[in-house]
Structure formats: C-alpha cells, structure tokens
Structure 1
C-alpha cells in the first residue's frame, strides 16, 4: 500500500525548522506525486536552488528505508543524486537530496532511453557492494520459490537496486540516474537485469525481446538458466501476492508481465511451479 501523503505545510513545526536550517528559507514547495513509498515527497525551492525532500513518520513500517538510503548514498553517487542532509525531528524522518533535472525513463520498445538505462545497469554492476547492513536477495525471495532452499541461487555479493520501476529512473540529456535506494539488496549480480525484464514486459516488450535487451548487460550472461527460471516463478508469485484479490490497474500490469515471462520460460524450465494463494 502507498504511504499516506503529507504536504510540507502539514508537517510539525519542529521538522520544518530542521529542514530549513539545512536548506535556508524555503520560498515555495512543489509536491511530487510519482512516488509510492514516501509520505512527504516534494521539491523545496530556495534562493540557492531546489532540494528534493523525501520523508516518513518515524512510526511508519518502512521508516528503516530512510536510514538505508542515507547509509548507501556515498557509495552510489553519481549514479544516484547526492544526499545533502538527513534530519529526524518531531516524529518525522526526512532526507534532502540534490535535484536531478530529468524525466522518468520511457521503457517502451524503441525508446531512446533504453541504452541509457542499460548503461546505468552496467555502472551499478561495476560498483563494489559496501560493508553496510543490506537485505539479502535469497532471504527476500525465499517465500516465493518451491522450497526455501531454492532461493540460495539468488545469493551473492553484488550491490542491487531491485526496484526498476521507471519512476525510479531519471533520464537527463547524457545519462540515467537511479533514485529510491531504500530496498537496496546484496545478491547475485544478474538479478537487477532480471528485475528490469519484468518492467520491460510491462512496458510492451515481449519476454524474448526483453531478455535480448538485457543481454547487453554483462552480468546477465553469468545467470544460470535454472536460477533465472526460479527467479521468474518467484516474481510471478510475489506480484500475485502483492496484487491480492482486487489489484489496481498498475499492479495488474506487473502481475500480467511477470506471468507472461513465467509462461515464456516454462517451456524449458525444470523448476516445479508454486502458486501463492
């Protein structure tokens, strides 16, 4: 479920003052409606420029992602926008990032953004995984494979973003930037390319064409076919669970994409299917 939205002027005075102590006086606030994981998502305009604000209440179940983003940021810039400050005051946890003057990536077939996103995948794959607390891919997916031990094929020491929603990819004239690192994970190096395939299929690619596109990412070539089969089935089960009994249009699109990829792979799969009820 998306986090409930809070406008900047609805924040307690203490957290607003703490933010302005970092930014200087805020002249105007423009809400950002694209994100799902933050209660506060806005551009704060000051005399010196614009800062992107991202915040959650300290009692929110996802508030730990705020610290995760703060911890990982020094290791992932300039692929990610630079973190300017992190304040926790008055029951609120707020991050302030430099603003990227870009637009959300277009994943549709033939889009000129696709090579830039591929380059971002390559750039991420070249970064060492920092020695900080991160979730592990095999643990995140253990509940969606036929047997928990099957998830060991997702284990590894690569740094993964894992959420390749095109809303998390900002394209500028010369490159693509990745935002929203709260679900950064440690795992097998090929997994980010696999996560992207689902979003490509949801954007209109056939599963075969999506696999061909991620074939330009060197880490994908290291993916054992049986491990990919296990990931595809786990993803189909995961998205089915997320959708629940009454999925919205956005979630239905991802369920359909993951199932189409699963059907494509099942022709040559030796991994027994498992459906989450």
Structure 2
C-alpha cells in the first residue's frame, strides 16, 4: 500500500481538532517532504512552540510503526526527540514530537557530520534494549539469506535503529539526533553499522572506505566476517526487491550501493 502524502490542512477537521487539543491553536503548518514512511510529515507552529507531526491512516499496513515509535520513545531520549502526544482520531494515527532545528546528515566523504553519526551510534549502543515488542533482525532478514541458518548470525539483544537514511539523522550544532524509530529492531551489536555502510556507499564512499569508517563504531570489531558477508548478500537481495522495476534514481543508487558492497565482500573471500 503506497503512502499518499497529505498536508496538515488536508486532515479531517476532527483530526486537526484533536491535535490542537494537545498543542493549542495551530498558527502555521509546513509540510516536510523528506518523509518516506508517513502520509503526514509536517512542522506546526503555535503561539508557544513548534511541533513535528507524523501520521498514517489507521488502515495502512505500516500503521503499527506509529505505536512502535510511541513505545520506544521513553527509552531513547535524548538521542531522539521527545514524543509529546499520540492521538488516534477519525481514521488517523498521529504522533507529535518536539521539533528539532537541524539539517539532514551529509554522508559524503569528508563530511563533518560523519563523526557525529558515529558518536550517535556509540550512544545508541549504550542504551539497554527495552523489554517491549520489537522485531528481531534474524526474522526480518530470514527471507534473504542463502541458508536459513545464516540468519541466526544476526541474532542479539542490542537495540538497533536499522533505518540509516540520512533524512532520519538530524544534525544540531554538536550532535546527531535520530528520528523515525518505527523499524527499531533487536539484534547483533554490529548490525546498525552494517546497515549504515550501504547509505555511505550510496553517498560516494568506496566499500572499503565505508567499512573503515564504521570500524570506529564500538561493536563492529565483534562482527564475524562470515556474518557480515551474509548480511551484505541479504541486503543486496532486499534492495533488489525494494527496487523491483522502479527506475527512480534514489532507489537505483541504493540498490547499486548494496550490490557494490556484496561484490566487495565476495571479492574479499
């Protein structure tokens, strides 16, 4: 089911009323175009503060990610912005977060944002995995490995973000903040760094350069080479599936990046 984007003003009046019951009257609303998994992605201004809204219709297949974000938010503050409210009204599921003033992370080689992302990964690795319902890495990737037993190498009890799209990383002056936690997962300690590699390659890093960069992330050194090989191969198949017959440049770059990394790992062996 595709995500059809809407603006704040497009929402049913009862939904807007429910939001304003939490925020006070909205004076201005700006649609944020960067969101890929939300029908509503907007920044609203009231007389007293700014709030970021994200939302999906309650009949959307991904609406469960809204509750996942609400459940995990108390455990990932201040690495993530604070959830202010969660409302469900008139067929819509809406989350309201404190708005962050920052820019989307630049992953290109030499970017000053890269050390801040590494530090955010380090801080995430220090957060105990909460005892809430989370997807498991070995389950999410089971369909993309050669041998079902290979997925067992992704098991672990570490809290993972897994979606390292640079639009999910907001850079403030001295730190990176992580948003969009709907796909938070429980798995092996090195997996977030592995997920990041594909985005780094898509941003212009050679596979070996990307691996050298993520070697700064605590936990990466514990990754068994065979497990990384299996993950790279699984990721390539996953991005092939995501891309399908799509010809847009954004998807094609990530599919190409995943293939490059998979080939790099195969050449290594």
* TM, length-normalised to structure 1: 0.96
Q: Which digits, 9 at most, give the CA deviation of each residue in 1:127-163, with x for residues without a partner? A: 1000000000000000000022210000100000000
Alignment partner, residue 152 of structure 2: 152
Of 128-137 and 259-268, deviating more is 259-268
Alignment partner, residue 251 of structure 2: 251
Q: Secondary structure in 2 aligned to 1:52?
A: strand
Alignment partner, residue 220 of structure 2: 220
Alignment partner, residue 208 of structure 1: 208
5+ residue gaps, structure 2, are none
Alignment partner, residue 118 of structure 1: 118
Alignment partner, residue 27 of structure 1: 27
Q: Which digits, 9 at most, give the CA deviation of each residue in 1:216-259, with x for residues without a partner? A: 11110110000000000000000001100233110100011011
Distance in 1 (CA, whole Å) between partners of 2:239 and 2:247 is 10
Is the Cα contact below 8 Å between 1:2 and 1:37 reproduced in 2?
no
Is the Cα contact below 8 Å between 1:29 and 1:43 reproduced in 2?
yes
Q: Secondary structure in 2 aligned to 1:112?
A: coil
Distance 1:178 1:149, change over 3 A: same
Is the Cα contact below 8 Å between 1:2 and 1:36 reproduced in 2?
no
Q: CA deviation at 1:15?
A: 1.1
Q: Secondary structure in 2 aligned to 1:218?
A: coil
Give the alignment's Cα RMSD to 1 decimal.
Answer: 0.9
Q: CA deviation at 1:13?
A: 1.4
Alignment partner, residue 79 of structure 2: 79
Is the Cα contact below 8 Å between 1:138 and 1:153 reproduced in 2?
yes
Alignment partner, residue 272 of structure 1: none
Alignment partner, residue 52 of structure 2: 52
Distance in 2 (CA, whole Å) between partners of 1:191 and 1:100 is 27
Alignment partner, residue 4 of structure 1: 4
Pairwise mapping of residues 173-192 of structure 1 onto structure 2 (< 5 A)? 173-192=173-192
Alignment partner, residue 264 of structure 2: 264
5+ residue gaps, structure 1, are 270-277
Distance in 2 (CA, whole Å) between partners of 1:246 and 1:55 is 25
Distance in 1 (CA, whole Å) between partners of 2:2 and 2:179 is 17
Q: How many residues align?
A: 269
* TM, length-normalised to structure 2: 0.99
Alignment partner, residue 102 of structure 1: 102
The runs of at least 4 aligned residues of structure 1 exceeding 6 Å deviation read: none
